[in-house]
Amino acid sequence: MFRTLRLDAVLIQAVIAGALSFAHLHDLAAAAGQDGWKAWAYPVSVDLLLVAAWRRMRKDGGNRDAWLWFAIALIASLGANVATAGLLDMNDVPDWLRILVAGWPALAFLGGTLLAHAHTPEPEPAAEPDLEPAAPDLVVERVPDPSPELPPAEPAAQETPSTPEVTPEPVTPAPAASVPPALLDHARKIADAHHAQTGAPIDAATLRARLGIPAPLADSIALQLA
């Protein structure tokens, strides 16, 4: 199957602009003394330099040399368009313009050579991760110098002061506290129950705990129940 040819407005505009610029460059070169096939070679040279500079700019990004040669080729193309628009007498071309037209081939060759052999920066390779384990840092511990041991000091003989002998005085029993008869009867019942369970007489501490009374009163009751 054949592809359908579609006309693009931008493509048509580019063809028209290229044809007009090509014709203006040819007319200017012919007016400057370049006749025959040489007049047709000038527009080809300008357009090729323009395309080469544009491709280098797109490839290298912000390459200053590519921008410089693109500007030179664009000025040459625009200059020819303006010069042939009636601002220049094509029958009497000034000498400086003849010099520029005559020197253009060498200038275009220099620009094309520099653009073709321009160095393209290569992307830097990604750094490979270091697979070797890092050596641990050596930590030097400072050992304190052993201090000379001093002999233990002999304990000083403690002098015990002589104390006079104290003769203990005989302890007289405290007078028995008065016990209410009802409390004494209740204590006797508890003592009898304790003796029946344990087979031993009740003591003052147990009697105190059962009745919840002070120690002197418990001792007095225990003496009376004995």
pLDDT in tens, 114-150: 888 776 655 566 556 555 555 555 555 555 555 555 5
Domain coverage including residue 15: 10-116
Residue 106 lies in a domain: yes
Nearest to 25 by CA among 115, 104, 106, 96: 104
- CA-CA distance, 38 to 29, in Å (whole number)? 8
Among the three residues 116, 136, 167, which one is the final residue of a domain in this structure?
116
**8 Å CB contact between 56 and 95:** no
Please give the tally of structural domains in the chain: 2
For residue 14, pLDDT over 70 is answered with yes
Among the three residues 66, 91, 116, which one is the final residue of a domain in this structure?
116
**8 Å CB contact between 40 and 25:** no
Q: Which residues contact 111 (CB under 8 A, 6 or more apart)?
A: 49, 52, 53, 69, 72, 73
Residues 16, 92, single domain; the answer is yes
Lowest mean pLDDT among 21-25, 76-80, 126-130, 195-199: 126-130
Residue 5 lies in a domain: no
Query: Phi, psi at residue 170, to the nearest 5°?
Result: -65, 135
Question: What does each C-alpha distance from 84 to 43, 78, 87, 101, 107 come to in angstroms?
Answer: 14, 10, 7, 14, 22
- Which has the higher per-residue pLDDT, 136 or 214? 214
Residue 159 lies in a domain: no
Residues 108, 202, single domain; the answer is no
Q: Supply angle C-alpha 115, 120, 126, rounded to 5.
A: 175
Residue 142 lies in a domain: no
